[in-house]
Structure 1
Amino acid sequence: MLTPSPAPSRAPSYATVLRTPHAARTFGTSLLGRLSYGIVPLALLLAVKDATGSYSVAGGAMALFGAASVVLSPARAALIDRHGPRRALPPMAGLYAALLTVLALTTWQPGAPPLVLGALAVAAGACTPPLGPVMRTLWSSLAPDRELLQRAYSLDGVAEELLYVTGPLLVGIVVTVTGPSAGVLAGAVLVFVGALALVTSPVVPRRMIAEEARADAPAAPRLRLHGIAGLRHAVLVTAAVGLGLGALDLLVVAFTDRLHHPAAVSWVLAALSAGSAVGGLAYGAVRWKSSSRVRLPVVAAGLGAALMAAGVSPHLYVLIAAVAVAGLFVAPALTTAYLIADESVDAGRRTQAGAWVNTAFNAGSSGGTAVTGLLVDRLPLTLCFALAAAPALLCAAAVVRTGARRSRSAEVAGPDAVSGA
């Protein structure tokens, strides 16, 4: 079903993506801003811990920061779709950077009040600019060809994965030289400069669809998942993938601890990132015959099966190999979900659609970590891995079953039936 079609010599490549007019500049500025997302979480966690001397306060502040960022992500994306990136993104990034700066200054010396830090963390999380969804919306303009867009999304996903690996390493350097508060300040500068540079790209005025629409018709309403079957399935599967990966982080820590090799956790997680990068680049380079909606449950099921296999690893090296295999499906799953989101809505709501996928993944990841924290000391580790794999497997099966049922209904209804997707 997923056999790639023969790739002709003129099939678009990743080099073709970057050679598209203005693509390299636009992509580069978005990555500059998004590097902040790899730096700020760890830097802020360490800064709050140093300022208060409490891990619980630091964890609570980060939970508030993450919750505000995730829950309000679709609303921020709706502002981008409503007013256009050029108008909405700079003030959003400016306010976010200002709040991070206040947090950096507040945590520079010990003795910061926990309530003040919590309030600032909530406010900063609520203003997080959606640079990732904005860039993926811009890719739809830069790469209108579906095959080129698939490669663009794959390249974007792999680059973002590398940012989340690079960010903590940079925090380690900054902490050694100065302190964690300087890392928070660096994140503020990166996101502000990156956002301003992004909106100066020549492609951004052409993406102000909402402004063009207001001249002729009311702006598109806020996106709802109800009634958009493709997007709803993409969000469901992406949340399940996030659950599995959020659980995996903690399970890897528990696995390596029980083997008395706690330092090996970095190697296992590096294998996950490496597998994701390889899988994303390979997946994006293939010309698939099947549709994105067919591929999504297959790659999600592959991820679930690999997670389940990781749970029965007899040795550390087997675990590393199994986790690397699981990583092969991560970037393809996200790339496919973003493609489905892009094709499920009109041009004026693409940022919101991408933000829903992003929100589902982040919320699932946080939930997976939280639930696993409650179970890992109470259940056998193999069973915990199986439970982490279950959401991806079950959601993949549910999406396949729903798709089959809709196909049978369409056949019975005849060619004049109207799809509810």
Structure 2
Amino acid sequence: MSSPTPSPHPSTPPSASPSYAAVLRTRHAPSTFGAALLGRLSYGMVPLSLLLAVKDTTGSYSVAGAVMALFGAASVLLSPVRAALIDRYGPRRSLPLMAGAYAATLALLAQATWQPGTPGIRLGALALAAGVCTPPLGPVMRTVWSGLVPDRALLRRAYSLDAVAEELLLVTGPLLVGLLIEYARPAAGLAIGAGLVLAGSLALAYSPAVRGIGGLPSGPASAPGGPGGDSSGGRTQLLRRTAGLRHAVLVMAGVGLCIGGLDLLVVAFAEQRHQGSAVAWVLAALSAGSAVGGLVNGAVPWRVPSRVRLGAFAGALGLALFAAGFSPNVPVLMVMIALAGLFVAPVLTTAYLLADESVAPGGRTQAGAWVNTALNAGISAGTAGAGLLAGRLPLAVCFTVAALPALLGAAVAVRRTPAGGTAEPNEPNEPNKPNEPNEPNEPNEPNEPV
């Protein structure tokens, strides 16, 4: 049996059983993943802490909303730019600088909101600066996973584990803030968030698993579409030239629109039935369903391409949300939302996988950031759109409108295979490339344990 081509992290043999335990047994995986999760916990705490802290110090919901909009817009829209810097200069050079600047601005925000009376303009400027510097820990960790576990079956489980953990962090973060404000000011959540993101980012950047990632030399080898990946100057070219990435971005934008509108529609549904306290339980059902779906998705040895799975998961999510609009009461809504949640983590995981396999290694962080940006931008737009519709249209119609973007994204994802060989120039691991030794296990997985 011929030996496989060496990978940057050859500690994971291609023959390893494609299970979650195998993922966590991979050398450097537990410590690196733990560092990324520590930093990403900050992203679950900071938004709510910032909203409450600004409202406390200014006494104005409108100012708090404007500050949050500045923070969110800068964080989301500049994500591909920060990821391009990571790909160009490497995490070890870029991530500590970004995390340091982000933590410093969060600390300044904590100081500014500790006492009442701080002008909203100052808070907005600090929030904008924090958003500009937000380190892309999720895309970096997914790039690290691609190097740690080159086997595609194992990588799918790693991505599923990552998505489920991130989902749980986004639920845990606000709960920790809720406990914290019982004993301290909301500004304390900003200070803690600064410490978390700095510690997690530094531990991730200096993990042995990160060695050799990024830092592409300039020149023809690193030009967009070339063998070395995409240079930082080719951010939009990477999206334009790569059909698989473009499809993943479009689908995730539609999924984001659905998820963004869902929270507000659940609030309206519960309040319409005078059961406002049930909102937390309904949204918890969404997260629980997502966690279950993510774990199951990672354990199943799928035989269909990522593009087809992406469309199927997005379509199933849209259909579940459409049906949820016709729920007669809150318990039925909770069941329907949990059913919709089963497809949230799988569609996320599959989008990241499709983006990863569509580009060369030098563009993986950037590709993941484009998917992340599309999701977050869709969530923001979906929340705003649901706010305009709720109260003006029947809730069943609002749920239908919220479901449409995911259904349209599903149609885009599965409508056709890219024509010719130019649409997907960076896919060396497809099954029709028999001489590529790093991906031997995908066709022969059915008899392996999950």
Which bracket does the TM-score occupy, shorter chain normalised?
over 0.9
Does the 8 Å contact 2:53/2:186 carry over to 1? yes
- Write out the 4+ residue segments of structure 1 that deviate beyond 4 Å after TM superposition: 214-219
Shift in Å, 1:215: 9.2
Q: 1: CA distance between counterparts of 2:353 and 2:70?
A: 30
Corresponding residue of 1:71:
77
Corresponding residue of 1:372:
386
Q: 1: CA distance between counterparts of 2:176 and 2:244?
A: 38
Corresponding residue of 1:45:
51
**1:225-264 deviations in whole A, cap 9, x for unaligned?**
1121111010000110010010000000000000100000
Does the 8 Å contact 2:87/2:213 carry over to 1? no
| SS of corresponding position for 2:115 | coil
Corresponding residue of 2:66:
60
Corresponding residue of 2:242:
228
Q: 2: CA distance between counterparts of 1:352 and 1:218?
A: 14
| Letter matched to residue 16 of structure 1 | A
Q: 2: CA distance between counterparts of 1:395 and 1:157?
A: 20
Match of 2:319 among 299, 305, 312: 305
Match of 2:297 among 283, 291, 307: 283
Shift in Å, 1:204: 1.0
Q: Structure 1 stretch 148-157 or stretch 217-226: which is displaced more? A: 217-226
Matches within 5 A, 1:338-377: 338-377=352-391
Equivalent pairs, count: 400
Matches within 5 A, 1:267-282: 267-282=281-296
| SS of corresponding position for 1:111 | coil
Q: 2: CA distance between counterparts of 1:361 and 1:30?
A: 20
Corresponding residue of 1:414:
none
Shift in Å, 1:379: 0.5
Match of 2:131 among 125, 133, 148: 125
Q: 1: CA distance between counterparts of 2:409 and 2:105?
A: 38
Does the 8 Å contact 2:81/2:235 carry over to 1? no
1:93 aligns with 2:105: no
Corresponding residue of 1:293:
307
Matches within 5 A, 1:2-17: 11-17=17-23
Shift of the 390–217 alpha-carbon distance from structure 1 to 2, 3 Å rule, reads closer
Corresponding residue of 1:202:
208
Shift in Å, 1:209: 4.8
1:396 aligns with 2:410: yes
Does the 8 Å contact 2:255/2:405 carry over to 1? yes
Does the 8 Å contact 1:246/1:365 carry over to 2? yes
Corresponding residue of 2:434:
none
Matches within 5 A, 1:55-204: 55-204=61-210
Q: 1: CA distance between counterparts of 2:412 and 2:361?
A: 28
| SS of corresponding position for 1:314 | coil
1:418 aligns with 2:418: no
Q: 2: CA distance between counterparts of 1:10 and 1:80?
A: 30
| Letter matched to residue 329 of structure 2 | H
**1:166-219 deviations in whole A, cap 9, x for unaligned?**
001110111111110000000000000110111121111132352xx4599456
Shift in Å, 1:399: 2.5
Residue ranges of structure 2 left out of the alignment (5+ in a row): 1-14, 224-229, 425-450
**1:100-155 deviations in whole A, cap 9, x for unaligned?**
00000000000000111111111111110000000000000011000000000000
**1:308-347 deviations in whole A, cap 9, x for unaligned?**
0100001111100000000000000000000011011111
Question: What percent identity do the matched residue pairs reach?
Answer: 66
Corresponding residue of 1:334:
348
| SS of corresponding position for 1:323 | helix
Shift in Å, 1:420: 2.1
Q: 2: CA distance between counterparts of 1:215 and 1:198?
A: 28
Does the 8 Å contact 2:308/2:413 carry over to 1? no
Does the 8 Å contact 1:223/1:353 carry over to 2? no
**1:256-283 deviations in whole A, cap 9, x for unaligned?**
0001000000000000000000000000
| SS of corresponding position for 1:107 | helix
Corresponding residue of 1:320:
334
Q: 1: CA distance between counterparts of 2:131 and 2:365?
A: 18
Q: 1: CA distance between counterparts of 2:311 and 2:33?
A: 29
Q: 2: CA distance between counterparts of 1:131 and 1:165?
A: 18
Q: 2: CA distance between counterparts of 1:379 and 1:257?
A: 15
Corresponding residue of 1:4:
none
| Letter matched to residue 129 of structure 2 | A
Residue ranges of structure 1 left out of the alignment (5+ in a row): 1-8, 411-416
Shift in Å, 1:223: 2.9
**1:21-76 deviations in whole A, cap 9, x for unaligned?**
00000000000000000000000100000000001101110011000100100000
**1:385-412 deviations in whole A, cap 9, x for unaligned?**
0000001111211322243xx4xxx5xx
Q: 2: CA distance between counterparts of 1:317 and 1:366?
A: 27
Q: 2: CA distance between counterparts of 1:106 and 1:394?
A: 44
Q: 2: CA distance between counterparts of 1:207 and 1:260?
A: 53
Shift of the 288–209 alpha-carbon distance from structure 1 to 2, 3 Å rule, reads farther
Q: 2: CA distance between counterparts of 1:401 and 1:311?
A: 27
Matches within 5 A, 1:26-45: 26-45=32-51
Q: From the two aligned structures, give the one with the greater helix fraction.
A: 1
Shift of the 235–215 alpha-carbon distance from structure 1 to 2, 3 Å rule, reads closer
Shift in Å, 1:419: 4.1
